[in-house]
Amino acid sequence: MHPEGAASAAEFGAAVKEFTSALGEDAVLTDAASLREFGDPYAPPEWANPQPALVVQPASLEEVQAVVRIANEHRLALWTVSRGKNNGYGGSAVAHPGSVLVHLGRMNKVAEVNEELAYAVVEPGVSFYDLYEELGRHGHRLWAAVPDLGWGSVLGNAVDHGIGYAPNGDRAASVCGMEVVLADGTIVRTGMGAMEGSPSRHLSKRGFGPTFDGLFMQSNFGIVTKVGIWLMPRPQVYSSCLVSVIDDGDLEALVDILRPLVLDGTITGQPGIFSPLPRADWVSGPWTLRFALYGREAEVDLKIATIRDAFAAIDGATVSENRYHGQPPQEASQTDKVHAGVPNQDMIDEIGLDDPNLPLGHTVFSSIVPNTGAHARAITELFRRHMRATGLPGGQSLVVHGRYITNLGLIAFPRDDRGAAEAVFEIYRTMVLEATALGYGEYRTHVSTMDMVAEQFGFNDHALLRTTEKIKDALDPNGILSPGKSGIWPSRLRGERGL
Ligand code: ADP
């Protein structure tokens, strides 16, 4: 097999030789069994599952530069992942069949931890576990926000707009100062980092002129090799809180009472409102709101009293809290750990993803809606209506930010059932179209649906996507970097766009 875009199998063979001599033999994987490992882990057999044609694993900045040089020379498409654990959205599967997977797991250094100014600098291969252990090893009094599953890359999650739950969990917003390799091999440092030796490189997001960090997120404009990520100082008290309501109809009240508490800073971080997991009835049910409080004892006392008061307006609502003076241990609940930056994999068991009798795959319907009860209800009803019709298991969580909610509708399917997987993606597409009709856009999607999601952002004849593709062509004239990522295609492959 040789990638489309390479002139011939012979040229592809020559490229493999060059990759091997630049990176070393064990950094280049070509055998079918290894390549299968880098597809979509949830794709049923024989389902459309574009595997890479080749996997290359650079271990340094210079090796990343060598990879783009070779790709340019042979017009090879690359597809970059950091650790490739983005499973519900396709894992390491590529958008353009035959792409060469650039897996950055070997670049796994925590380059710096700054206790005084509360940030770390990480390479792409650093997982949430790695960062947690590094902070612990050196006795740092800093916490990193973690997502539900800790095995992914801190950098990969940040550049894909991932969400954590503790303060600074809006990870893209906590990125400060990137190092990026462009398609032509140029190394760019963003913000203050553009000034040689600046001590403010990971402190101020703005340098002089336009701000570029966002340009390298959910795009294919460069390979990000390092980011600064802001951390939170360890609070004196950490309180993990739950509010439970029994009536499905209390969702609106839950959202509308929570919103002012988030907007005025009583609650920081990203609260989540959950329906029970897993579920298959999809009619109605109880809701649990989880969030955390951080601060001095008296401050947390005052906040919890305010919160109890506010939720007393809902009949039968219960408010509970677990207080810690430090990070919770591994035996603590997922909720307690996840709001305090303790990485874990508990969600896999909670959803039953790896049940040996019925291993499940999943994808996520991930819409942004305004932070009001009425909008929370509208997206909930849309999601439930389709889930009821499928009878498939899944779950819903509404991650609440100040002004908007990220609705995460998890849709699961038996991993070996091709028909079920196809039905799920069919239903997913219908959900996306119905969400568009309500003005709700997806913030992230599976690699196979990036074009159709990009298509929904159609203002002024897709002026934003057309602008994005102009930038793409200027920065990457040979179209080598992650063609198809977020629906962005380079000019030579624009015909590949599918819906
Ligand atoms: P995680 O392991 O945290 O789940 P991934 O490594 O799967 O994250 O990355 C998620 C997505 O982010 C990838 O599919 C890719 O599009 C993008 N991405 C990841 N790492 C980089 C990087 N170093 N440079 C550019 N884009 C990246």
Residue range 260-305, pLDDT digits in tens:
999 999 999 999 999 876 565 676 778 999 999 999 999 999 999 9
Residue 219 is part of a domain; what is its CATH number? 3.30.465.10
pTM higher than 0.85 = yes
Handedness of CA 107, 354, 413, 44 (dihedral sign): positive
- Tell how far the Cα of 218 is from the centroid of ligand 1, in angstroms: 8
The pLDDT confidence band at residue 356, using thresholds 50, 70 and 90, is: confident
Examine the domain organization and report whether 134 and 258 are in the same domain.
Answer: no
Residue 390 is part of a domain; what is its CATH number? 3.40.462.10
Examine the domain organization and report whether 430 and 470 are in the same domain.
Answer: no
Using DSSP's 3-state secondary structure scheme, residue 131 falls into helix
Examine the domain organization and report whether 222 and 363 are in the same domain.
Answer: no
Q: Residue 1: what pLDDT?
A: 39
* The pair of three-digit structure tokens given for residue 294, joined into one six-digit string: 């951080």
Examine the domain organization and report whether 328 and 347 are in the same domain.
Answer: yes
Query: Percent of the chain beyond pLDDT 90?
Result: 80
Rg (CA), the chain: 23
Helices (H), 264-345: 297-311, 334-338
Examine the domain organization and report whether 245 and 355 are in the same domain.
Answer: yes
Instruction: Please check whether residue 273 is in contact with residue 245, taking contact to mean a CB–CB distance below 8 angstroms.
Output: no
Domain boundary among 210, 233, 256: 233
The HSE-up count of residue 219 (CA atoms within 13 Å, CB side) is: 25
How far, in Å, CA of 404 to CA of 412, rounded? 25
Give the active site residue among 234, 384, 444, 497: 444
**Residue 27: pLDDT over 50:** yes
Return the minimum-mean-pLDDT range out of 36-50, 165-179, 213-227: 36-50
From the alpha carbon of 157, which atom of ligand 1 is closest?
3
Domain boundary among 233, 259, 292: 233
Examine the domain organization and report whether 316 and 434 are in the same domain.
Answer: yes
What total number of domains does the chain contain? 3
- Tell how far the Cα of 313 is from the centroid of ligand 1, in angstroms: 43
Please give the single-letter amino acid code of residue 291: F
- Which domain, by its residues, includes 99? 1-106+457-499
Domain boundary among 233, 260, 295: 233
Q: Ligand 1, from 65, 67, 86: best to mutate by most atoms within 8 Å of Cβ?
A: 86
- Tell how far the Cα of 155 is from the centroid of ligand 1, in angstroms: 7
In terms of Cβ atoms closer than 10 Å to its own Cβ (0-12, 13-18, 19+), residue 182 is middle
Give the active site residue among 119, 384, 443, 497: 443
Return the minimum-mean-pLDDT range out of 7-21, 126-140, 215-229: 7-21
The HSE-up count of residue 34 (CA atoms within 13 Å, CB side) is: 13
User: Active site includes 89?
Assistant: yes
Examine the domain organization and report whether 191 and 277 are in the same domain.
Answer: no
Examine the domain organization and report whether 360 and 262 are in the same domain.
Answer: yes
User: Active site includes 466?
Assistant: no
Cβ neighbours of residue 139 closer than 8 Å, sequence gap 6 or more: none
**Any residues with Cβ below 6 Å from ligand 1, and which?**
80-86, 104, 124, 152-153, 155-157, 159-160, 223-224, 482, 485
How far, in Å, CA of 126 to CA of 142, rounded? 17
Give the active site residue among 42, 89, 119, 132: 89
Instruction: Please check whether residue 132 is in contact with residue 146, taking contact to mean a CB–CB distance below 8 angstroms.
Output: yes
Examine the domain organization and report whether 410 and 319 are in the same domain.
Answer: yes
Measuring from atom 9 of ligand 1, which residue has the nearest CA? Answer: 156
Residue range 141-195, pLDDT digits in tens:
999 999 999 999 999 999 999 999 999 999 899 999 999 999 999 999 999 999 9
Examine the domain organization and report whether 434 and 332 are in the same domain.
Answer: yes
Q: Residue 7: what pLDDT?
A: 54
Nearest to 54 by CA among 119, 1, 126, 123: 1
Q: Residue 37: what pLDDT?
A: 85
Examine the domain organization and report whether 261 and 376 are in the same domain.
Answer: yes
Examine the domain organization and report whether 285 and 160 are in the same domain.
Answer: no
User: Active site includes 296?
Assistant: no
Mean pLDDT, residues 95-105: 95
Q: Residue 49: what pLDDT?
A: 66
**Residue 6: pLDDT over 60:** no
